[in-house]
Amino acid sequence: MLCLMPALLPAGAAAVRVDARIPGGNIVVDSIDGDTIRVHQDLRDTRGDWFYWAFRARGAAGRTLRVEFTKSNVIGVRGPAVSTDRGRNWRWLGAGAVQGKTFEYHVPPGLAEVRFSMTIPYFESNLQAFLKRHRGNAAIEAGVLAHSRKGRVIEKLRVGCLDGRAGQRVLLTARHHACESLASYALEGILETFLSPTEEGRWFRENVELIAIPFMDKDGVEDGDQGKNRSPHDHNRDYAGESIWASVRALRQLVPAWSQGRLRFALDMHCPYIRGKGNQEIQFIGDTDQQIWNRVREFSGILEKVRSGPLPYHSANNLPYGTGWNTAADYNGMKSNSTWTAEQPGILIGTTIEIPYADVEGNPVTAESARALGMDLGRALCIYLQHAR
């Protein structure tokens, strides 16, 4: 639904135009009254409420826009993300621009379009830019896992030792919930570690083959869906019985044949809620297998020691199974990716990480800081796998 309703405007002033016709666009416009825009997020096939939105405003150069959300409060702790270059770069507007469910933004003079989002986005175009930077590198290979319901390619990346002789294998997945975009930048950081000219990179390329699936819900990412709690169930509750999503079906077929009992580490990368206790801390999420959780704790200790990026990590913030929201009641008989990977032959660690959208203990989460976290994860993984038994 798109509703453009200009009201009283100064003489000669054009109406502000608002729409979601951008990559990842998601908004329902309730009204436009001069420079005041009233909107809410499009929940589409989402069960219950969720918070993702993204839109563009045009015809507002030199004006101060007031954006009011008419339903739930969907503004994060650092305000909205803003792009003035058609989505190439984003920054947090800041909490100072926010009051309750409303934010204000002065559009620079001469700017034809400004984009707003509840998160810093990551789309196929970002992945293609990453691959372009590494074009010609023999240690990375881009392929196809499957095709989505709308015919989009669901990418599969192979990274590291690609001659089939790697003694250890690693699986990374992201965007089981389409809106959880900061996890994608952290995934890039792990891949950068594998491809880097460092000691860790050289060791990975000699000993480890990694497969990464950057977009498990590719349609949701590009179309701007919430992804979380999608009806009848989302991608991260599709690992029991017959999978309904093509990416999950393909992954469940691929991994046993590819790993041949050599899959040692599997990490499913997520973002949590946008505010509140536990949602501004990096957390590993425990499952029912206590042996695997003990290894996660060991890996967490390594990460805590080697971290050099700007985002703090404390293993005490991890969420063991049976605490907080992490209980069997949330699964309702369905199975998550990390539960499934924990069942694979030879696995040492199959787990989930939650990377906050905007803030970690007072430090901003950006494309750069999330990538740095990924590189920290890569260094910790190198140490762990070198000593794993």
Q: Among 131-140, 321-330, 359-368, whose mean pLDDT is lowest? A: 321-330
* Secondary structure letter of residue 216 according to DSSP: T
Pair 307, 372 in one domain: yes
Pair 48, 104 in one domain: yes
Q: Give me the pLDDT at residue 4, please.
A: 40
Cis status, amide bond into 256, omega within 30 of 0? no
Q: Among 96, 117, 138, which residue terminates a domain?
A: 117
Tens-place pLDDT, residues 100-131: 999 999 999 999 999 999 999 999 999 999 99
Residue 5 lies in a domain: no
Residue 74 lies in a domain: yes
Pair 285, 217 in one domain: yes
Tens-place pLDDT, residues 150-188: 999 999 999 999 999 999 999 999 999 999 999 999 999
Range of the domain at 23: 17-117
Pair 184, 105 in one domain: no
CATH number at residue 308: 3.40.630.10
Q: Give me the pLDDT at residue 329, please.
A: 65
Residue 2 lies in a domain: no
Q: Are 2 and 20 in contact (CB under 8 A)?
A: yes
Q: Give me the pLDDT at residue 93, please.
A: 98
Pair 167, 305 in one domain: yes
**Residue type for 375, please?**
M
**pLDDT band at 388, cuts 50/70/90?**
confident
Pair 132, 231 in one domain: yes
Residue 377 lies in a domain: yes
Residue 8 lies in a domain: no
* pLDDT reading at 223 higher than 80: yes
Domain total of the chain: 2
Residue 1 lies in a domain: no
**pLDDT band at 14, cuts 50/70/90?**
confident
Q: Give me the pLDDT at residue 134, please.
A: 97
* Secondary structure letter of residue 324 according to DSSP: T
Pair 238, 185 in one domain: yes
CA distance 141 to 224: 27
Pair 298, 152 in one domain: yes
**pLDDT band at 215, cuts 50/70/90?**
very high
CA distance 37 to 76: 18
Tens-place pLDDT, residues 184-214: 999 999 999 999 999 999 999 999 999 999 9
| Rounded percentage of the chain residues whose pLDDT exceeds 90 | 93
CA distance 177 to 174: 8
* pLDDT reading at 12 higher than 80: no
> Rounded mean pLDDT of 69-88?
98
Residue 9 lies in a domain: no
Q: Give me the pLDDT at residue 328, please.
A: 77
Strand pairing partners for 323?
326
Q: Give me the pLDDT at residue 5, please.
A: 41
Q: Give me the pLDDT at residue 277, please.
A: 85
**Residue type for 286, please?**
G
What is the distance in angstroms between the CA of the first residue and the CA of the last residue of the chain?
Answer: 55
Q: Are 64 and 104 in contact (CB under 8 A)?
A: yes
**pLDDT band at 6, cuts 50/70/90?**
very low
Classify 275 as helix, strand or coil: coil
pTM of the model: 0.95
* pLDDT reading at 389 higher than 80: no
| Rg for the chain, CA atoms, rounded | 21
Q: Among 89, 117, 145, which residue terminates a domain?
A: 117
| Cα 64 to Cα 12, 60, 283, 292, 353, distances in angstroms | 17, 8, 38, 52, 38
Q: Are 12 and 37 in contact (CB under 8 A)?
A: no
Q: Among 117, 147, 177, which residue terminates a domain?
A: 117
**pLDDT band at 13, cuts 50/70/90?**
low
Any residues with CB less than 8 A from the CB of 189 and at least 6 apart, and which? 370, 371, 372, 373, 374, 375, 376, 377, 378
Closest CA relative to residue 145, chosen from 217, 234, 195, 204 = 217
Pair 263, 334 in one domain: yes
Residue 12 lies in a domain: no
Pair 25, 102 in one domain: yes
Q: What count of other Cβ atoms lies within 10 Å of the Cβ of residue 333?
A: 8
Q: Give me the pLDDT at residue 11, please.
A: 42
Pair 153, 82 in one domain: no
**pLDDT band at 255, cuts 50/70/90?**
very high
Tens-place pLDDT, residues 331-386: 777 999 999 999 999 999 999 999 999 999 999 999 999 999 999 999 999 999 99
Tokens found for residue 292? 């695997």
CATH number at residue 99: 2.60.40.3120
* Mean pLDDT, rounded, of the chain: 95
Tokens found for residue 315? 């293993």
Pair 87, 141 in one domain: no
